[in-house]
Amino acid sequence: MTSQLALDLPRRLVYDESDFFVTARNGRAFGLVGQWPDWHAPAAVIWGPPQSGKTYLAHIWKARANAAFADPAALDGHVWAAPRQPLVLEDVDASPLPETALFHHLNLAREHGSFILLTARTPPGSWRIALPDLRSRIRSYPTAEIQPPDEEHLSALLLKHFSDRGIEIAPDVIAYLVQRIERSMAAADAVASLLDKAALAERRRVTRAFAAKVLRAVAGGPEFDDDAPKE
């Protein structure tokens, strides 16, 4: 097994709902977003590992609900004025929460018919919350997990990203990439963009050997061409 390449590349900050690839790994979370505004509570939680698509879904919900992003760590100073536009609070388990302020915002959402979407890396039951009322309130909200892409999901993501760029890609190239990039939506997008730009610059087709050469250049080492054909 070769090591995986974590691509340190900027992501395209485009969150078009039609481009979100739905599979069994993220379907429940996507469905939760689609159920709004018929949630049984004023808030919902989507959780999963980094770069699994939580931010993408948060932006889809932002567009649907005309919501705004707020910093959960700065809720003490956040003034939620009427008509209390729906809020997105991302990575709520990444730093200590201002629990009283969050509880106040959740109460306002319930009283005034607004909504809050929370995202996190861990399930709500594992969050360290001192206020019993806040803890029980959050655990009562609808929750959906996003799992990291498996090989099948990552292969489909890569095919879609290459297809969107008008690139015909052979199955052996996809298989080669799947074993050498991290399993995340961001990595699939980034490697397709990287190879697209490199192929255009060199006026080359994206073959397995060409992909190996480009990844080797990015990684700064030979480990990604161990079994790739030489050009």
pLDDT in tens, 36-75: 999 999 999 999 988 788 999 999 999 999 999 999 999 9
* CA 77 to chain CA mean position, Å: 27
Q: How confident is the model at residue 6 (pLDDT cuts 50, 70, 90)?
A: very low
Report the pLDDT value the prediction gives residue 58, as an integer from 0 to 100. Answer: 97
Specify if 226 maps to a domain.
Answer: no
Q: Are residues 192 and 84 in the same domain?
A: no
| End-of-domain residue from the set 103, 130, 145 | 145
Please give the Cα distance from 216 to 177 (Å, whole number). 12
Total domains in the chain come to 2
Report the pLDDT value the prediction gives residue 15, as an integer from 0 to 100. Answer: 83
Full residue range of the structural domain in which residue 133 is found = 24-145
**CATH value at residue 203:** 1.10.8
Percent of the chain with pLDDT over 90: 65
89 sits in the region (left: phi over 0; alpha: psi -120 to 50; else beta) called beta
Using CA atoms, how far residue 5 sits from 9, 27, 228, in Å, is 11, 27, 15
Report the pLDDT value the prediction gives residue 3, as an integer from 0 to 100. Answer: 45
Q: Are residues 49 and 136 in the same domain?
A: yes
Report the pLDDT value the prediction gives residue 227, as an integer from 0 to 100. Answer: 55
